[in-house]
Amino acid sequence: MSAFPDRARVVIVGLGGIVGASVAHHLIERGWDDIVGIDKSGIPTDIGSTAHASDFCYATSHDYLSTWTTLYSIDFFEKLGHYARVGGLEVARVGDDARMNELKRKVASGKAFGTRASMISPAEVKEKFPLIEQDQIQGALWDPDAGLVIPRSQTVAGKLVDRAETSGKLRAFSNCPATSLVIEGGRIRGVVTPRGTIMADLVVVCAGLWGRLIAEMAGEDLPVFPVDHPLTFFGPYNEFENTGKEIGRPLLRDQGNSAYLRDTGDPKTTEGGQIEWGYYYESDPRLCHPRDILEKEFARLSPSQRDLELEDVLSPLERAIELTPILGELGYNESHSFNGLLQTTTDGGPSIGESQKVRGLWYAVAIWVKDAPGMARLVADWITDGRTAIDHASIDYSRFNPYALEAKFIEERCVETASKIYNPPVHPREPFGGGRNIRRSPFYQREVELGGHFMELGGWERAHGYAANEPLLEKYASQIPVREHEWDNRHFWRVSNAEHLEMTADCGLINLSHFHLTDITGPDHVELLEWLSAAKIGGDGNIGKGIYTHFLDDEGNVRADFTLFRLADRIRLINGADAGPRDLHYMRRVAQDRGLDVTVTDVTEKYVTIGIWGPNARVNLQKVVEDPAALEKENFPFAAIRPIRIAGKDVTAFRISYVGEQGWELHMAYEDGLAVWDALRSTGVIAVGVETYANSRRLEKSLRLQNADLRTDYNLLEADLARPKVKEADFRGKAKHLEHRARDHQPAMLCTLILTDNLDSNGIARYPVGILPVQDPETGETLVDELGRRSWTSSIVFGPTIGKNIALAYLPWSHCQEGRRLQVEYMGETFPAEVAGVGYKPLYDPENLKPRS
């Protein structure tokens, strides 16, 4: 063993798990050396979740990033000779139509993201998996590429570490916990261990179940929580003895019963042939704070394998025996069964990326085995290049607002996500029930009185529509279909579409208090934003203007989309609630890296915003402002910002529109908000729910949303957001952007699609939600562009003014023709679609005359 080092380029905390080992491997692959890995246990770990994981790899999911990371991992494990591609089943029991529909949706997501999952009949299931009672099921998803890491991910972790050590680029130290971090001037300097302090430029925390304890050393928290997960064993099961098969049968998921099953294969190649049956406590998840995880010497099996009472799982086990009677025939191996700890998280995603507080401290926590090599590849690329092969917004630790890193919130949300690991299916629009009412606008009580239908974003309670507007349903009945399919209608309120139409005919107020607001001040604030933004920011002519622009990454791809106010002494960035926190941390880091003297401050809770839009926006606003003439078209040009006064309060009015109508965003101090709301409502203008703003009118206007339609997977020209001219000043991504402009066409374009017919095979009109693969009707295959990127609906909604389902999707250049016929797949059925516009193409008011009226 090498001498204990006192310095390294990188220290990995938690090297012994599959995540730590994979990070070491990928950093080395990206050219890093002088890496030290430490682990509080053995290497490979004998106490972490890698030591007991079931090692499933199912790639098919509704999340593109996790499909990508799992497919990458499968390939990685297979190349190492450690993957059994036995295939995986997910069954729907007779009577469980919700599960059956979910499986069909999953197959569609698989087609969108590139898996080979398909639906198969009960007879086909029986053929693949003879242990099943065929009459218990109505169908199944079959993924031929699902499988298991063999013999265990723990073995792979050991092998990766051995290889890395052999390369001379990694030194590994087991039984060496991190006891504190050395942090100076907001930067990581090293890790303290009982064996000595290792100074380092970078520290990557891969400590899995104990990750929160390491984050605490940096004064921050991770939104993750270990949760019990019963793993039970039945045997002996020696059907595959001497067959040479590591694993004999496909994997079986029975999510309707919150359970799964697998065999452990040939006893000669494993620990003895058994069947593993696993379960998730979904009605009563049992969290275990990392502080309460036992030390090794006190644990019966290991700290992450906690004792299990069979009675706790008896009733789901009985249901499992109905499906797979063999479980009742084999003996229960009590001594080998346990509650394995796995990580659950507040939003289902891991915590990856640089610390919010300490530069050079990175987290890679809450990663399942199936994603570990893929996530490690992203981490290594991110650390090395500042970007990753696919957009990483959904895993970035910077995505969390401060309230989302508080203990109570973490616990509430983790309980909720733990209760939804398998069942019931999660609707794409499903709001969280826990961790609510964190942020309420000053008009919240008024909205409650109006019968607001609330969902949450960025901690804000947002009304998507108001019961008080239901009388409008009669007025617009012919334009607002009743959604007969429960799934299409879930978490949707028909009144929202009536509000949409009323705003179009007259005027409406929209509560936009959820905007994430960041003030950038200091001598270099313009220089920072000039460097980051594609639009020109500097120059006195821009003072008093609102500017819509983007941050690009070094590849010229879109990483942020927002408006900003160029004020005399500051820039205020107005951002989506979802995207804002990441952009705030990004600006701070870039300013620091470039040595700029700026202060970046989150002012989200200090100000609120109301939108007033519609053909009568001006006349209504003129009724309550102190100087009505100032609102006249000639006095208040489009995109201008002007101070106005309403109800004796100072308001910053911004003439802009995300809903394609005449009107303003009105920004004011939080404490002035209620008076302004009441004054505006006194004119008789209705409150319009945020559904119109965020979804229905947005898509009628072909407007793009960051983290849905805009991602770093596509460039600014593909998103059709490039300006006519490129600004003089240099900016991040400019060189690549110029290269993109020089092409005669882009590999793909973000297009507007309409569903030309939405009747399903039962004659029911459908209003699809979620991810739908976009296919060529000739072949039935999902479209793929020349860079291998697949086409799916990044947004989809019914537009009541247009009377059709409208979607946005990136299409390969070969299919970018207006009128081109396509199809989309939803719940096992295909619907004809058509390209309504290549690139940015509003279907409502295509000339954009209304906002400028």
In angstroms, give the least distance from the CB of 228 to ligand ABU: 12
Q: Which positions ≥6 away from 340 have C-beta within 8 Å?
A: 49, 52, 53, 228, 229, 230, 231, 304, 305, 306
In angstroms, give the least distance from the CB of 333 to ligand ABU: 17
Alpha-carbon distance of 344 to 362, in angstroms, equals 19
Alpha-carbon distance of 99 to 107, in angstroms, equals 12
In angstroms, give the least distance from the CB of 789 to ligand ABU: 26
DSSP 336-363: G-EEEEEEEESSSS-EEEE-SSSBTEEE
Of 278 and 349, the one with the shorter C-beta distance to ligand ABU is 278
Q: In terms of Cα–Cα distance, which of 654, 544, 580 is closest to 610?
A: 654
**Piece in contact with ligand ABU (CB under 6 A), picked from 52-60, 195-203, 444-452, 751-759:** 52-60
Of 13 and 146, the one with the shorter C-beta distance to ligand ABU is 146
Tokens, residue 762: 């039962």
**Piece in contact with ligand ABU (CB under 6 A), picked from 51-59, 185-193, 441-449, 618-626:** 51-59
Q: What share of the chain is helix, strand, coil (3-state, %, to 5)?
A: 30, 30, 40
Of 202 and 421, the one with the shorter C-beta distance to ligand ABU is 421
Alpha-carbon distance of 844 to 853, in angstroms, equals 15
In angstroms, give the least distance from the CB of 784 to ligand ABU: 27
In angstroms, give the least distance from the CB of 69 to ligand ABU: 13
Window 9-48: contact mask with ligand ABU (x via CB under 6 A): ----------------------------------------
Residue entry with tokens 């399919």: 485
Of 143 and 700, the one with the shorter C-beta distance to ligand ABU is 143
Of 260 and 810, the one with the shorter C-beta distance to ligand ABU is 260
Hey, which residues does 231 pair with through a beta bridge?
278, 338
Alpha-carbon distance of 285 to 325, in angstroms, equals 27
Window 430-469: contact mask with ligand ABU (x via CB under 6 A): ----------------------------------------
**Piece in contact with ligand ABU (CB under 6 A), picked from 53-61, 162-170, 411-419, 767-775:** 53-61
In angstroms, give the least distance from the CB of 276 to ligand ABU: 9
**Piece in contact with ligand ABU (CB under 6 A), picked from 54-62, 149-157, 631-639, 844-852:** 54-62
Of 78 and 834, the one with the shorter C-beta distance to ligand ABU is 78
Residue from 32, 58, 613, 844 touching ligand ABU (CB under 6 A): that is: 58
Number of chain residues interacting with ligand ABU (CB under 6 A): 7
Number of other CB atoms surrounding residue 614 within 10 Å: 26
Of 278 and 611, the one with the shorter C-beta distance to ligand ABU is 278
In angstroms, give the least distance from the CB of 73 to ligand ABU: 12
- 10 Å CB burial of residue 648 (0-12, 13-18, 19+) is exposed
In angstroms, give the least distance from the CB of 411 to ligand ABU: 22
Give residues 272-291 in contact with ligand ABU (rule: CB under 6 A). Answer: 278
Alpha-carbon distance of 851 to 853, in angstroms, equals 6
In angstroms, give the least distance from the CB of 55 to ligand ABU: 8
Window 110-149: contact mask with ligand ABU (x via CB under 6 A): ----------------------------------------
- 10 Å CB burial of residue 684 (0-12, 13-18, 19+) is exposed
**Piece in contact with ligand ABU (CB under 6 A), picked from 39-47, 50-58, 282-290, 609-617:** 50-58
CA angle 415–417–420, rounded 5-degree value: 110
Window 221-240: contact mask with ligand ABU (x via CB under 6 A): --------x-----------
Of 58 and 844, the one with the shorter C-beta distance to ligand ABU is 58
**Cα separations in angstroms, 181 against 48, 449, 567:** 21, 51, 41
Alpha-carbon distance of 11 to 18, in angstroms, equals 16
Of 280 and 460, the one with the shorter C-beta distance to ligand ABU is 280
Alpha-carbon distance of 214 to 804, in angstroms, equals 51
In angstroms, give the least distance from the CB of 278 to ligand ABU: 5
- Give every strand in the sheet of 83-84, ordered side by side: 56-57, 147-149, 83-84
Q: Which positions ≥6 away from 619 have C-beta within 8 Å?
A: none
Of 424 and 544, the one with the shorter C-beta distance to ligand ABU is 424
Of 233 and 260, the one with the shorter C-beta distance to ligand ABU is 260
Backbone angles phi, psi at 205, to 5 degrees: -95, 110
Alpha-carbon distance of 147 to 524, in angstroms, equals 53
In angstroms, give the least distance from the CB of 42 to ligand ABU: 21
Of 276 and 578, the one with the shorter C-beta distance to ligand ABU is 276
Does residue 253 belong to the site contacting ligand ABU (CB under 6 A)?
yes
Of 367 and 811, the one with the shorter C-beta distance to ligand ABU is 367
Give residues 330-369 in contact with ligand ABU (rule: CB under 6 A). Answer: none
Q: What is the DSSP letter of 302?
A: B
Of 253 and 585, the one with the shorter C-beta distance to ligand ABU is 253
Of 153 and 702, the one with the shorter C-beta distance to ligand ABU is 153
Hey, which residues does 172 pair with through a beta bridge?
37
Of 372 and 534, the one with the shorter C-beta distance to ligand ABU is 372
Window 527-556: contact mask with ligand ABU (x via CB under 6 A): ------------------------------
Alpha-carbon distance of 230 to 338, in angstroms, equals 6
Window 566-585: contact mask with ligand ABU (x via CB under 6 A): --------------------
In angstroms, give the least distance from the CB of 89 to ligand ABU: 11
Hey, which residues does 287 pair with through a beta bridge?
227
Alpha-carbon distance of 335 to 827, in angstroms, equals 43
In angstroms, give the least distance from the CB of 74 to ligand ABU: 13
Q: In terms of Cα–Cα distance, which of 792, 138, 698 is closest to 428?
A: 792
Of 58 and 409, the one with the shorter C-beta distance to ligand ABU is 58
Hey, which residues does 665 pair with through a beta bridge?
611, 654
| CA-CA-CA-CA torsion sign (402, 408, 411, 416) | negative
In angstroms, give the least distance from the CB of 20 to ligand ABU: 19
In angstroms, give the least distance from the CB of 260 to ligand ABU: 5
Alpha-carbon distance of 5 to 558, in angstroms, equals 41
**Cα separations in angstroms, 823 against 95, 701, 772, 806, 816:** 30, 22, 10, 13, 14
Of 128 and 229, the one with the shorter C-beta distance to ligand ABU is 229
Hey, which residues does 612 pair with through a beta bridge?
509, 664
Q: In terms of Cα–Cα distance, which of 267, 264, 46, 270 is closest to 158?
A: 46
In angstroms, give the least distance from the CB of 108 to ligand ABU: 20
Window 584-613: contact mask with ligand ABU (x via CB under 6 A): ------------------------------
Q: Which positions ≥6 away from 300 have C-beta within 8 Å?
A: 307, 338
In angstroms, give the least distance from the CB of 45 to ligand ABU: 16
Q: Which positions lie near ligand ABU, rule CB under 6 A?
A: 54, 56, 58, 229, 253, 260, 278
